[in-house]
Chain A
Amino acid sequence: MTTKLFGTKVPRVEDQRFLRGQGRYVDDLLTDDPRLLHAAVLRSPHAHARIVDIDVSDVLDLDGVVAVWTWEDLTGPMAEPLPLLIPHPTLTHGRTQYALAREEVNYVGEAIAFVVAVDRYVAEDAVARIRVDYEYLEPVVGIDAARAAERTVHDDVPDNVGARMEQENGDARAAIAAAPHTLTLELDIERSACTPMEGRGTVARWDPDTSRLTVWSSTQTSTGVRGCVAAKLGLDLARVDVITPDVGGGFGVKVVHPWPEELLVPLAAKTLGRPVKYTEDRREHFISSAHERAQQHHVEVGFDDEGRVLGLNVEFWHDHGAYTPYGLIVPIITSTQLLGPYKPQNYRVVFESLYTNTVIVTPYRGAGRPQGCFVMERTMDAIAAYLGKDRTEVRSTNFIQPDEFPYEHGLIFQDGRELTYDSGDYPASLAKLKELVGWDEFEEFRAEMAAQGRRVGIGLACYVEGTGVGPYEGAHVHIETSGKVKVATGLTTQGQGHQTAFAQIVADTLGVRFEDVEVTTGDTRKMPYAVGTFASRAAVMSGSAIHLAALRAKEKALRIAAEALEASEEDLEIADGVVSVKGTDASIDLGTVAVLSNPLRYAFDEASKAATQFSVGDPGKPPVAEDDEPGLEGKDFYSPPRSTFANGMHAVIVETDPDTAEIRILKYAVVHDCGHLINPMIVEGQIHGGVAQGVGGALYERMAYDESGQLLNASFMDFLMPYVTEVPTSIDIDHLETPSPLNPLGIKGAGEAGVIPSAAVFAAAIEDAEGFPITAMPISPSELFELRLAHADDTTEATTRSTP
């Protein structure tokens, strides 16, 4: 009997390979090919400048240089701006860069010239020989400068405003005006970035004999890259294959496509007739990939004596950098997901998406939600402080209740669909969290610590996350005559453990051994219809599609087996790859069923003889029935009506050093609801990683731009990604499972969850420890020290907080 694998902690089969250094990443490919060429990119040293002249005359003299491209050398679609991937009606002034800068550069790091040489050393030597005359322009750096609009990034974008978008449910301003209590908050979040272990990278090979282009790219969407490469290079889609090998992390940055290099590498490979590789280095990743997070928020809230929000009016300013290739996804998510598990009676949100002369902004794990969660949770804490109520009580007062699902917010979400929550039980989650972190016992602990001269604080933050956005994913399940099952789904894998989780689904649905299932992802040759891996969608989308495809294969297997076993389908069961008639010894292997599914003229081995023309079939009928097809396969697609909404709540206890202002994490607790868990170990791994990344975002990481637009910390020496020594040694996790009604497995996404509440939860805990408001994140010990100085004369605030 096959044991049910869905819901169990099956060890990840990927890890053997990864931990033994046997992963195969883009940079590992074609290394033995003597014809392989290497690319390097000349990048702008200025944040804002006109290009007067580019002189490449010294480059081709250099031994080992094969070719150099500037914008002047590009033709056709390659000479046009890169695509604006997700247009939106309010994005009235969307702009994208060229693959190589044309006349103007708008951030330090923008690609200007592309050199191909025998190795990367020579290519970098050549880059250093290119002379560019610039006419320096004053840059716009930071949201304040963008809003002031004394200068503009693009001449034809007035006031640096790319988009202004407003949504409202009810009449928020009137509700606030009529509310018994009101508060106003200014809340800021700084820039950060995904910083995956592996940067971007692309390898391309053109085969002149078959006129086919093969592209390997470290991407979160191989079908997206394929479409762009074909369009830009003027190739038929059928002549382009895009394969995503192992990917060393994405976290959002690799869903952006096509990167200039993702087009230039295939162009060079096709032009030169030799394979070409580009591997981004770490400095390039900091200055020429993508950032996120920077937003300023102005909040007005009206509430009653219980802390019930009657009206919420949020205005915010989003720094989208120099261009808008990914549209307005991040600020739209902030504006909608800000609501979290709450139901403000009246809500208005308006944002401006602003140009600055800095690296582009596109989704980074959490994608606008960390900012929204920060805004809402800081508001909840401010209400509690104002009313002198327990912070969990104010939240409970505002929760959407379990019997109110599906809950309609009256807004449009990032996928263009209604913002409607499908499921959840927020009061139950909060009860679990309070228990897990010891919320009700905390004052005792605080007093105990204070007696030792130690200062501690506790914070919590709740979020709701729309996961599994459409439009669709598909899957193909093929049972081979060996009984082995080959599964293909088109979205990519960057470390999530898809081989394991998807194989669990197939093993259960089909009734085969887990070990017999092999999953291929991100290969357009195997599954050309796909979207990508982002927005916590892989398990929901491909997991569901794989389940549906496996059901189709199973249906066919049962039909053929019933015929072979002369039994009724209802009497059959499949376990461990064997179809048997319940309660009898009669059985047939799935592999044999696969043989029978494909009528043969030629036997290729002993087993296949059973399917040849003199062995099988009714001579009076066509070997393949009119409504059937050969082979034991199933193919299906899953396309949900809208996103499914996961949720979670985090709490943290921090200690702030009264002397040095250092911030230490004493306890971190997570209650998480992503519906049914396919593999709890993988979900917990996602949470661990998300919390670690969130600790970075809250306490360590920021993009330190100076006023001239130079990124001062473009290395891991000064961009302080936390080490293992900086993240909590243990994270207490509890799960609640409210299944989603929107998909056949009842699952919701889990990939981004861990990172969303970090800024909010740390701000709350530090505020609780220190007694003054924390309104900007991230926060360093130096900043905490400066805040202490600023609040040193201001003891009244702390007093009113504790005794309202």
Chain B
Amino acid sequence: MSTSHAEHDHGHGHGSANGDHVPHVLPFKVYIGTFATLLFLTVVTVAASYVDIGHTGNLIVALLIATIKASVVALIFMHLKWDHKFHGIIFVSALIFLAVFIGITMSDTEFRGEAESIEAHNPVDLKDPFKAQRTGDVAIPKEAAAPAAAGSAAPAAGSAAPAVTPAKH
């Protein structure tokens, strides 16, 4: 248990000569400061939700503040700042894979049924599908095609953006 300051400046318990664990203790004021920051940001995020900057704007502000709060918790309360770099990599990789999951899934749900609307106006002749000239082989404007899309695939029916503009909360 003979460890000096100099020997463990990488974080948790490195450098103890006999391999015993030596803790890395942060000053109390770091914890108080973190706690105050978190409370402050909570108040800010509630307050910001009453300011109307559009639904997307409010969403971005809320997520931004939440991300800052989460980073503070992870870096200081969870000691990630002083921890092995690999633990940070583990944590961040979870977020990257989560982003991949949500992002690619939305590439489906946000764009579902877009081809059906075109197909509906360009019926394929099943007896001669490769006929050179199909009737009206041009892109159909989306509005004109919307009714056709609604009926074509049940789960996809809702993916056409909702027409109703909601009242601002």
A binds B: no
Residues of B within 8 A of A (CB): none
Residues of A within 8 A of B (CB): none
